[in-house]
Amino acid sequence: MDNCIFCKIANGIIPSATVYEDDDFRAILDIAPAHKGHIIVLPKSHTDNLYSLDDEVAAKALPLVKRLAKALKAATGCDGINILQNNEPAAGQTVFHLHIHIVPRYEGDGILPVWPQGSYADGEAAALAAEIASKLD
């Protein structure tokens, strides 16, 4: 996609601090990291979000994220890792090229909010689970 900054980065048109590259992905250090070592995994082919991601590429993404997370933990000595992927503005997506964040975390760093825990009324969880299951393709 001509105007997509992440397409340009993923395909080497715009330089980046590349951690990993193969035929399908480029993993780079985020230029505005939550912590040093914050990685963004970019598919080289343009896809707006998870909904339109090719299944073959999707099948390769999580094993790559796992490898990168283990390497990041070993390199930084962080206490934990967050894996984040946002879809659509309501979920915090600001660049409309699918990307996966791998964020090193440290005890007490306070960088990411924890959402409040909700609950379901009697029978509500079962009804919603059934509704979601009925929409699977």
- 46 catalytic per annotation: no
Point out the catalytic residue in the list 38, 46, 97, 99: 99
The SS3 of residue 82 is strand
Cβ neighbours of 135 (radius 10 Å): 6
Residues 128 and 134: their CA atoms lie apart, in Å, by: 10
Of 119, 64, 114, 58, residue with least CA distance to 87: 58
Residue 44 · residue 10 · CB < 8 Å:
yes
Token readout for 25 is: 């992905």
Q: Where are the beta strands (DSSP E) in 18-132?
A: 18-21, 25-29, 39-43, 80-84, 100-105
**Could you list the active site residues?**
99
